Structure formats: structure tokens, C-alpha cells
Structure 1
Amino acid sequence: MTQLRTVQVLGGGSAGSSAHVRSLTAGLVARGVRVTVCAPDPLERLYDFRGCGADHVAVARRGDPLSLGALRAACATADVVHAHGLHAAVRAAVALGGQRVPLVVTWHTRVHADGPRGHLLRLLERRAVRAAAVVLGTSSELVDRARRRGARDARLAPVAVPGPRRAPAPDENGKARAELGAVERPLLMAVGSLVPDRGYDTLLDAARAWRGLDPMPLLVIAGEGRERAALQARIDNEDLPVNLVGRRDDVSQLLAAADIALLPSRWEARSLLAQEALRLGVPLVATSVGAVPELVGEAAELIPYGDAVALAGTVTRLLADPGRRAELASAGPVRAATWPTEDHTIAQVLSVYDELTQSPLR
């Protein structure tokens, strides 16, 4: 039997899509599939696709002729090309022009934009989904959106990503809290890129209310992005109990040490932070947006997006109610056990590949 050859295409690569490609690649290689990952060099350094048995072709996120040429050459001998995210999908569609290689697109998240940029994004969405033989949406909302944009075949694919290898020991939690400066005060934790749609302005609005608590909680935000300078200016000017710690390789350890995890985003599909918090048994307060409600069920406290009063009040109530925090801590791993496993995700993707490569249209 001929070995199946796939190319996985990543663009900028959000943490969720990159972690999924790493997991998917390892699973496909273990099942005898030859995998080439086309991604920018920084993603290879972070996720080590070669380390799980894949070939890596450095392809910048840009759509210049050199990058498109490298992508086209890598895809020329593939049986299936699988693009992850909107920009990767558009570039893969352009690179595949004229080649009879089926394109699968996994739509991990969506971008909010108004005006001319919003119009351009809608055009890109239509271009991406109409070029795909199959679109896999990580939430029901994304599947419906793909169908509205003209997808021929859109299916729900709630991807799984690896959980923590192990829960940190209590002494590790203590060390993490000491490093962050939260030994004798509550620790609140948020993780994600410092961009507007993450809701960090609302989070800082809520942090003003927490200054009146005794002991005063410390909010730690792990991540980098273009909003860092503006957020830091607010923290300094308003004397907020908030610490921006940048991008960290030990997010699991920091999160496990937290009293409450916070997800204030405008929109999320299968949030990595939500998944990790529930698996670790860390109480989660999240916005009721996108796929978050169907992901967490009753195992988290949900609030409206952009409501700083609701966010501040919910956190204050939880800090004063150890019983409720214990309920959420117990409910998280139970809910996480209902999610698809990595094996389920890989099996679903393989079934799509088999379907496309055995099609008489090939």
C-alpha cells in the first residue's frame, strides 16, 4: 500500500492551531502517514514538528512569490493538503491553483473586524472555504459560518490538544506563587495574546474593584502582543494589581498555582486556557461567547463579554466562597473527560483523508 502523504499548512499559528498541528502530526506519523509541515521557522522552534517525525519546510506567513513557490513545491507531491486557519487556507488555495490535490481546511477561530477590513475578511473567508473539499469547524458556529460563506462540505470537528503531562505538585505550586508575588494573596491568571479581542481592557477595569479586597488579589497575564505597551501604561497610571509576565513556557505550572483562571475574550472556539484550567481543576470565569458554553458546560462561571461589573463581582464572590471554588475544581476534570481525545481527533481527520483520496474525482 502506498504511504499517504499529507502537508499541514500553518500561517501565523495561534497557540491552539499550532498545538493541534503538533498533536495531529505526531498521531499521523505514528499511524504511518508521511507528514510535511509548512510553517514559519519560529513555529518549528516552538513546537518541534521534526521531533515528532515530520518534515518541515520553512514558509513565511507572507503571500510573496517566494513563499508561495516554496508552498506550491511542498504541496505538489501530497495526497492531501490540510490548512489550519484563514490565512493559511487562502495561501494554500493559491499555491494549489491548477493542482488536483484536495484541500482540507480546519477553521479554528474567527476574527472580528468592521468596515473595509471586515469586508476583506469576508472575501478571504469565501475564498478559503470555497477552495476546500472539506471544511472542519472547531465549533458549531464556525461550521454554520463556513456554510454561509459557500463551503461545499462543512463538518464539526472539535479538535483535542494534549493535556498537561502531570499535575504540578503542591510544592511546585508554592514556588510558582512565590515567584509571581502571590504567597499570601489570591492569584488570578489569564493567558493569551495581548490583542484587543482578548478583553484585557475589561479585565483591567475589573482589577480596579479588586484593589478594595483584603488581601488584594494579584492578576497575572501571560502573553505578548501589540497591546502590551497600552496595557502596561494603564496598569502603571491606575496602580492596578496586575503583572504582565510575557510569553511563558511554564503556563501549566502557573495556571495550576492560581486560585481562579480568567477568560474575558470577545470570542473563543475551544479555548486552550479553558481546557487546561478545567483539566487542572482550576475554577474558571469565562465570557459566554462562541463555543465556550458548549465546551465548559456547568463546570465554569460564565459572564457576558465586556461586562467589567459582572467579571469583578463574580471573582469577588468566588474568592469569598471556597465551597463554590471546590465545586468548580471537582467539576472541571469531570467535564474534561467528556471531550474528544487526541485519538478521536486523529481518527476523524484520517477518515476525511481516506474519503478524499479514494474519491473517483482524484
Structure 2
Amino acid sequence: MTQLRTVQVLGGGGTGSGAHVRSLAAGLVARGVRVTVCAPAELDRSYDFLGAGARFVPVPSRGDPLAVGALRAVCTGADVVHAHGVNAAVRSAMALAAQPVPLVVTWHSRPHAAGARGQLRRLMERKAARAAAVVLATSSELVDRARRRGARDARLGPVALPPPRGLADPPGEKVRSELGAVGRPLVVTAGPLEPHRGHGTLLDASRRWLGHDPVPLVAVAGEGPRRAALQRRVDTGGLPVRLLGRRDDVTALLAAADVAVLAGRWEARAPLAQEALRLGVPLVATAVGGVPELVGDAAELVPYGDSVRLAAAVSRLLADPARHAELAAAGPRQAATWPTEEETIAQVLSVYDELCPRGGHGPGPRRPAAAPPGQGA
């Protein structure tokens, strides 16, 4: 049996995609696959792909000829190239234009841009979908989206994140003391401070908690372009919110929380939701994208942008110990239904074997046929 050679291509490496590639690389290497990870240099410092046994080649997440040429050189001789995200998929397709190497794309998210930027993003989605031999989408909604964009073979491929490791027991008191949340409820959210993440709605909800006794503290972990604007709102309104900036201990923050909140406009398999449910922390989340599919009945779901419903859902959980305990118990049960890392790796490896079966018979199908007319936007 010949040794399978795969190149994993990452762009910006969001929390979900970066952790997934690290997990995937380690699992594939353990199964005898030669793995090369191509990503911006800083991502190896964050995810230690070399420590997973993979070869790491720093390649910037640009689409200029120099970056694409560097990616092309790495992909030469590979059996399968696996791109994670639309940007990485488009760059990989460009690099493979003259190479008969099958492209697998894991589709982690969807765009939030409007206008000209939104049109450009949809064009990139079509290019990525049509270039892929197989699209693995992280939610059913994304499977349908990939098919609408022209994918010939789009399948559900949930991304399993590694379970929390090395968490102190109990972790809560030290964290709560640091945040100033001793003797008061702690509400935690985490993620980039971007417009579509719903932080404005959460701040509106926090104003409604000013009448509580004691007043809940909202801790927001994350950095981004909205940091200054959000801080001004907190200061002007005297809101019970702390913007913590970038944190490396989000799992510990969640474990110390009374309630976790996910308020974004769209999510597939949000890492925050996965960690909260695994830890047994009651979650209030927006009923968008793949969130209902992910959490089932193990979270309180509210409409996106509705601060009144969001505030009320959190208030009910803080005031109702029985419901709080019910969700705390339901979270780990729901998490146990998700695919494990082992199952995720096995699914990906089975896709690779479909495209280039090993055993001395040479590679399987390399490039998809031309797109059927009329498919796309």
C-alpha cells in the first residue's frame, strides 16, 4: 500500500478551522498519512502543527501570484489537497489549475458582507464549490448552500473540536475573583468583536439587568474592530460589562460562568456553543444557521437581534434553579451525540480513499467534470 500524501491549506485560521486542522493532522499522521500544512506562519505558533507530526510550510493567505506559486510548489506530488474555508479553497484551486490533484474543501462558515463585497464573496463561493471534488460542510444549511453554488458532491462533515483539557477543578473561584464576579452572576461570551457577532444586542440586554440584585456581570472575551465602539457604549451607559480582549483561557472563563451567550447573526458549529455544552454551562444562543442542529434541546434559543428576548432568557435561567440545572445536565448529553475526533478523522480519510485509493492501483478520479449549466447563485 502506498503512503497517502495530503496538503492541508488554511487561511486566517479561525478558532474552529485552526483547531480542526490540528486535530485532523495529528489523526492522519497517526494513521500513516504524510501531512503538510500550509498556512500563515503565526498559525503554527498557535496550533503547533509540527507538534502534531505534520510538515509545516508558511504560506500567506493572499491570492497574489507569489503566494499562489508557493502553494503550487508545495502541492506538487500530493495525492489530495484539502482546503479549509472558501478563501483557502479558491487559492488552492488556482494552485492546482495545471495539476491533476483532487481538491477537498471543508466549508466552515458563510459570508456576512453585503453589496459589492457580498457579490465578490458569492463569486468566490462558486469558484470554490465547482473546483472541489468533494465539499464537506459543517452544517446542513452549508451543504445546501454549497449545492446551490454548484458543488457536485456536498456532504455533511461536522467538525469535532478537541474536548477541554487541563481544566482545574474547580476552576471558578479564581476566575470569578479576577473578573470581580464574586457574589454576583457571571455571563460569558467569546469571539471576535465584529459587527455580525451580536455584541451590540448583548450590551442592550445588559442594560435590562441593571435592575437585578445582584447585577450580573457580562464578560466578553475577544478582540476586533468594534472594541473601541463597544467600550464607549459600556462607559457611557454604565453597563455591567467587561471587555477582556484576547484571552487564552476561554474554557476556564466558560467553566466559571453561570450562563454562556452566543448572540451572532450566523453560526455553523460555534466553538463557544460546543465548549459550553460540554462543560455543562447553560447556553442562550440565537436560532441561526447550524446552531439549532448543533444544540438540539440543550440550550435556550432566541431570535437574532432581539435584546428583549435575549435578556429575558438569561434572566429566567438565573432566577430558575431547576431550569438552570436541567440545561446544565442536558449539555453534556447533547455533546455526546456529536461526532468524535476519531469519527471525523475516519470520515475525512474515507473521502481521501475514494478520490485516490491506495494499494498500487494509482490515483482515482482527479478533477470534477464541468459544472452543469445554470447552477450557481
TM-score by length of 1: 0.98
Compute the displacement of 1:113 (Å): 2.1
Equivalent residue, structure 2, for 1:73? 73
Equivalent residue, structure 1, for 2:212? 213
Give me the whole-angstrom Cα distance separating, in 1, the residues matched to 2:211 and 2:29.
54
**Counterpart residue type for residue 70 of structure 2:** A
Equivalent residue, structure 1, for 2:149? 149
Percent of pairs with identical residues: 71
1:54 aligns with 2:54: yes
**Counterpart residue type for residue 59 of structure 2:** V
Tell me if the contact between 1:49 and 1:56 (Cα under 8 Å) persists in the aligned partners.
yes
The 3-state SS of whatever aligns with 1:136 is strand
Equivalent residue, structure 1, for 2:29? 29
Compute the displacement of 1:225 (Å): 0.9
Q: Which contiguous aligned blocks of 4+ residues in structure 1 show a shift greater than 3 angstroms?
A: 359-362
Tell me if the contact between 2:102 and 2:365 (Cα under 8 Å) persists in the aligned partners.
no
Compute the displacement of 1:323 (Å): 1.3
Q: Which has the higher contact order (CA 8 A, sep 6+)?
A: 2
Tell me if the contact between 1:259 and 1:282 (Cα under 8 Å) persists in the aligned partners.
yes
The 3-state SS of whatever aligns with 1:161 is coil
Compute the displacement of 1:168 (Å): 3.3
The 3-state SS of whatever aligns with 2:211 is coil
Tell me if the contact between 1:167 and 1:280 (Cα under 8 Å) persists in the aligned partners.
no
Equivalent residue, structure 1, for 2:268? 269
User: Which shifted more, 301-310 or 110-119?
Assistant: 110-119
**Counterpart residue type for residue 23 of structure 1:** S
Tell me if the contact between 2:206 and 2:240 (Cα under 8 Å) persists in the aligned partners.
yes
Equivalent residue, structure 2, for 1:11? 11
1:327 aligns with 2:348: no
Give me the whole-angstrom Cα distance separating, in 2, the residues matched to 1:75 and 1:233.
47
The 3-state SS of whatever aligns with 2:155 is strand
Give me the whole-angstrom Cα distance separating, in 2, the residues matched to 1:361 and 1:199.
43
Give me the whole-angstrom Cα distance separating, in 1, the residues matched to 2:168 and 2:149.
44
**Counterpart residue type for residue 136 of structure 1:** L
Give me the whole-angstrom Cα distance separating, in 1, the residues matched to 2:147 and 2:209.
44
The 3-state SS of whatever aligns with 1:211 is helix
1:84 aligns with 2:88: no
Aligned ranges for residues 55-134 of structure 1 at < 5 Å?
A: 55-134=55-134
Compute the displacement of 1:77 (Å): 1.7
Compute the displacement of 1:169 (Å): 1.0
Give me the whole-angstrom Cα distance separating, in 2, the residues matched to 1:332 and 1:166.
20
Equivalent residue, structure 2, for 1:355? 354
Compute the displacement of 1:167 (Å): 4.9
> Which runs of no fewer than 5 residues in structure 2 stay unpaired?
358-362, 367-377
User: Which shifted more, 112-121 or 348-357?
Assistant: 112-121
Compute the displacement of 1:317 (Å): 1.2
Give me the whole-angstrom Cα distance separating, in 2, the residues matched to 1:240 and 1:41.
39
Give me the whole-angstrom Cα distance separating, in 1, the residues matched to 2:271 and 2:259.
15
1:241 aligns with 2:240: yes
1:253 aligns with 2:244: no
Give me the whole-angstrom Cα distance separating, in 1, the residues matched to 2:63 and 2:92.
10
Equivalent residue, structure 1, for 2:371? none
Equivalent residue, structure 2, for 1:312? 311
Residues 127 and 191 of structure 1: CA distance in aligned 2, closer, same or farther (over 3 Å): same
**Counterpart residue type for residue 2 of structure 2:** T
CA distances 1:207-252 after superposition (whole Å, capped 9, x unpaired): 1111111101110011111111111111111111111111111111
CA distances 1:250-304 after superposition (whole Å, capped 9, x unpaired): 1111110000000001001011001100000000000001111111111100000
